[in-house]
Structure 1
Amino acid sequence: MKKKQVVVMTMAAVMACGAMTACGGSKSDAGNNAAAGSEASGETGSAEGKQVLSVTTWDNESTPQFQAVIDAYEEKNPDVEIKIIDTSADEYNNSLGISLSAAQPDPDVIWVKDMGSMLQMADKEQLLPIDEFIKKDNLDLSIYKGAAEQLQYNGVSYALPYRNDWYVLYYNKDLFDAAGVEYPSNDMTWQEYYDLAAKLTSGEGSSKVYGSHNHTWQALVTNWAVQDGEHTVVEKDYSFMKPWYEEALALQKNGYIQDYATLKTANIHYTSVFKNQQCAMMPMGTWFIATMMQSHAAGETSFNWGIATIPHPENTEAGYTVGALTPIAISAFTDQKDLAWDFVKFASSEEAATILAAQGVFTGIPSEEALKTIAAAENFPEGESNVEALEYTHYSFDRPLDPKIEEIRTVLNEVHELIMIESYSVDDGLAELQERVAEIKGW
């Protein structure tokens, strides 16, 4: 079925729609208007008499993490049409915030990009508590292995775990083979990783191949500082981050990774860097597995690639990683609570987990069966070591469930940039970070 893609509104349009809602407009009215518009353009839409459920997604065209479940739900429920409100990942939280501030009935279902934003939405009463639905359907939360309880906020459930991602190391086997260097192991320290980055760097100018790649996110430095579980990104003292920033700057200075300023100025995305074979290694989340599998299936890439367990600090054993959950929730303003819950329940079910596993997507339901499905999927890299790379012994959230986390992330991002472009020294940057976080937290 061809999906009707809905472009996220501008602020003016959102506020106008919000005004119509306040003046008595309803989703049924909006649906009738949408149907009329669809008929005029040759689309049928809700004119078919189907129930229309709106869901928010980001970068839906470039990843299978949403569409596979949407398609499966529509196939099981032919009387329902899913209206997709898609936004770029960078603009998602901002656009969603604008939409929810208008208190309009669309969207019904929200895929939550960052758990910190879930807390903000809960504080603003923009999310529907789902404990009554869970109780009524006697939903077994044990299948999520504690993740559902971790998503509770002030003792209330606002979401279910949809997917689970953690960091691994991607590498280009062909580049390693050409350099005559052994592939990264599943028990490699960060120092060994730095040494490999030096060995795999070659060439000059536009033909240069970098030993590794750090995307511009602050997580690509701060994650390794919290990997051992001793700290989080919300602390009173940030001196523990100093050696990690020093190493990131050293990689940049030595030319083993592209420099931060170039990446930001040219708006270079990590996907293109790895796909175009401009780097031999790249630390990135497990969500990128599905992207690479999809890329190979479409014929966009043909080189051999693999994954290894993310490197670990010297004083930490292999298997420690950092990650985050993607929750799925219901808008407090939906006028289709039961239908929205039915979709949320399906999207976070074992059935959906099997569907997503075939796409290389890890879900909130960890299981050996899902791991086997992913490993057996077409275009997943061959070799037992790639499957072993997906196993972990310790999992730290990249950011804690703190009500102030989004404010703190803003500061983290600002300080990160100033350190990486060397406008601040590491010491000065971390001192400012400490001062501003203390102000936010009231310490």
Structure 2
Amino acid sequence: MTLLSIGMGRAFLYDTWERSQYKQYTYEEGGAMVKIKHATSLLIGIALITGCGGQDAARSNADGGGNPKEVKLEPVTVTAAVDGTYNELFDNLLTEHVKKKYPHITLNMMRPADGNTLDNLMIAGTVPDVIFTFNGNLSSYRTKGLLYDMSGLIKENKFSLDRFESNYIADVKIASTNDELFALPYETTFHALYYNKNIFNKFGIDYPKDGMTWEQTVELGKRVTRFDGGTQYRGLDPGSGIIWISQPLSLAAVDYKTEKAAINNDQWKKVFELVKTIYSIPGNKPAGAVLNEFTKDKTLAMVGHLNIFSALEAAEKEGLEWDVAQYPGFPEKPDTFGNASVYVGTITQASKHKKEALQVLDVLTSESFQILRSKSGSISTLKSAEVAKAFGADMAFLKGKHVEGIFKSKPVQYPVASEYRTKAETIAKARFNDYAAGTIDVNTALSRAEEEINKMIDAEKKK
């Protein structure tokens, strides 16, 4: 197979040997020849081909002098849509690395801001080869005819799934009905507890620690919620009200199997009461955009949030002294945070360049590329210790920060969500606000939410 690989082009040869653990070789980027230090391996490869009737194949890929010829692959453009937030740095980095490894492939990532949203492309009949999105969107692609089971393509091209943490493959399969694999995960998010060191220092209170429960975090929040020098300092905000706090408990507002409200129960009651307790701390009522309170106003002591490093980098330049600790947990679900949106690349059913699209995803999920992304603060879905070790290496403002606390918790398994999830959660938040304002009690809030969600679902089904 070695000699045949040479005939199939330098990019494929590099990929094949790299995967076969032949580490001692040199590669001439400008030519077609590869220099090998393991001559024995090459001889074995030639012998295997000869034994399989490979002499004719070898001759067909050689010039008159018996020297291997490079087979030029036809140029292919792989189009990609972004169903989410476009990142120009990510686009440029991936496009560059795809071209470096597969010179015949050009990745064209279309910007949503230029009118190339997925919906617009679908209306125009321009279906991309690849879609970069998050796993929660996959289920909605089924009715659009976009989903393609990549299992056969992955097996045919000997693409190893062993590189990934198994929980992220499971999170991708939430859209599957028969164990299909519709996408590959490449990055994910996290939840953490960020805190303003200046506020804790001002009041002489110890910083938050890893491993705290929500009850302990609330008590700490009470100690740093103060009115001082004409400024109201808030102690704690959960970041997204009842939603993020409910997720580690695997709660859903709608049962996706029955398509009925699933909110009027003791677990949701516990969440409602916990968040009201946080907001009811005297002086701790939300006063505006949570991130602005923490990064700009610098009046919020602790906030539970996702990856906000870019905002923190700017805030640090404006005087914010901050650090981070492990996300608070429940005693029954320790070391667990909420749904981690898993960013994925999916190949569309209509793509005419599926093999090349998989090669793009191969570059994206390679250890070398993921190390680069990890250095800039992205959380990888790979098992690689080297990728994890590289986290934040290129982010000078993270030096000295307790980022290891972030990794002490793992995400809850991503739920199979009802298509009515977003609207149901909107209703749940509205009824929670009534409860938090004191206009209704918690039982009434849950009962009304249940009734309204069921009415919403019935109405949606009739459309």
The reply to whether TM is greater than 0.5 is yes
Q: Could you tell me whether the CA contact under 8 Å between 2:227 and 2:283 is conserved in 1? A: no
Matches within 5 A, 1:294-443: 295=314, 301-317=318-334, 319-324=335-340, 325-374=342-391, 376-379=393-396, 381-383=398-400, 385-392=402-409, 395-397=411-413, 399-402=414-417, 405-422=418-435, 425-435=441-451
Q: Contact 2:95 / 2:107 at 8 angstroms: preserved in 1?
A: no
The TM-score normalised by the length of structure 1 is 0.71
Task: Map 1:148-297; keep pairs closer than 5 Å.
Answer: 148-152=169-173, 153-154=176-177, 155-203=179-227, 207-216=231-240, 218-224=242-248, 226=249, 231=251, 234-235=254-255, 236=262, 238-255=265-282, 257-259=284-286, 263=288, 268=289, 270-276=290-296, 277-285=298-306, 287-289=307-309, 291-292=310-311, 295=314
CA displacement at 1:358 relative to structure 2: 0.5
Q: Give the fraction of aligned pairs with identical amino acids, expressed as a percent.
A: 17
Shift of 1:352: 2.4
Contact 2:131–2:347 (CA under 8 A) maintained in structure 1: yes
What is the one-letter code of the residue matched to 1:311? P
C-alpha offsets along residues 134-178 of structure 1, whole Å, 9 cap, x if unaligned? Answer: 112211112212122442312211101121223111112222222
Tell me the number of residue pairs that the alignment of Structure 1 and Structure 2 aligns.
367
| Separation of aligned partners in 1, 2:241 and 2:390 | 30
User: Quick one: structure 1 residues 138 and 338, their matched pair in 2 at CA, closer, same or farther if it must change by over 3 Å?
Assistant: closer
Once the 2 structures are TM-superposed, how far is the Cα of residue 273 of structure 1 from its aligned partner? 3.3
Distance 1:84 1:206 in 2: 50
CA deviation profile, 1:319-375 (whole Å, cap 9, x unmatched):
222232222212334454343332222222322221110011101114332222115
Partner AA of 1:242 in structure 2: K
Q: List alignment gaps of at least 5 residues for structure 1.
A: 1-48
State the structure with more CA Rg.
2
- Change in Cα spacing, 1:73 to 1:127, as seen in structure 2 (3 Å) is same
In the TM superposition, what is the alpha-carbon distance from 1:180 to its structure 2 partner?
A: 1.6
- SS at 1:151's partner residue? helix
CA apart distance, 1:186: 0.4
Aligned to 2:39: none
Q: Aligned partners of 2:254, 2:228: CA distance in 1, in Å?
A: 40
The one-letter code matched in structure 1 to 2:433 is M
**C-alpha distance in 1, partners of 2:392/2:162?**
24
CA, structure 1 residues 323+69, in 2 after alignment: closer, same or farther (shift >3 Å)?
farther
Instruction: Report the CA distance between 1:50 and its aligned residue.
Output: 8.4
Corresponding residue of 2:139: 119
Pick from 39, 48, 53 the counterpart of residue 79 of structure 2. 53
Which of residues 162, 186, 189 in structure 2 aligns to 1:142? 162
Q: Secondary structure at the match of 2:208?
A: coil
- Cα distance in 1 for partners of 2:401, 2:308 equals 19
Question: For residues 161 and 301 of structure 1, what CA distance do their matches in structure 2 show?
Answer: 36
1:28 counterpart residue number: none
- Separation in structure 2 between the aligned mates of residue 66 and residue 217 of structure 1, nearest angstrom: 33
Q: CA deviation at 1:316?
A: 4.5
1:125 and 1:383 map into 2 onto residues whose CA distance is: 48
Give the Cα–Cα distance (whole angstroms) in 2 for the partners of residues 419 and 143 of structure 1. 42
Equivalent in the alignment of 2:36: none
**Bigger mean CA offset, 415-424 vs 155-164:** 415-424
Distance 1:65 1:307 in 2: 25
Q: Deviations over 1:395-432 (max 9, x none)?
A: 313x5124xx2313321222212312446643233224
Secondary structure in structure 2 of the residue aligned to 1:311: coil
> Residues 438 and 69 from structure 1, CA distance in 2 versus in 1: closer, same or farther, beyond 3 angstroms?
same
Q: Contact (CA 8 Å) 1:408, 1:437: kept in 2 or not?
A: no
Q: Structure 1: which amino acid aligns with 2:336?
A: Y
Structure 2: distance between partners of 1:160 and 1:336: 17
Could you tell me how far apart the structure 2 residues matched to 1:275 and 1:175 are? 13
When residues 127 and 271 of structure 1 are mapped into structure 2, their CA distance, relative to the original with a 3 A threshold, is farther
Segments of structure 2 that go 5 or more residues without pairing to the other structure are 1-74, 256-261
TM-score of the aligned structures, taking structure 2 as reference length: 0.68
CA 1:253–1:66 in structure 2 vs 1: closer, same or farther (change >3 Å)?
farther
Q: CA deviation at 1:109?
A: 2.3
Matched, 1:73 2:94: no
In 1, Cα distance between equivalents of 2:427 and 2:322: 33
**Residues 1:302 and 1:374: Cα distance change in structure 2 (over 3 Å):** farther
Partners of 1:204 and 1:332 lie apart in 2 by 61
Distance in 2 (alpha carbons) for counterparts of 1:382 and 1:337: 42
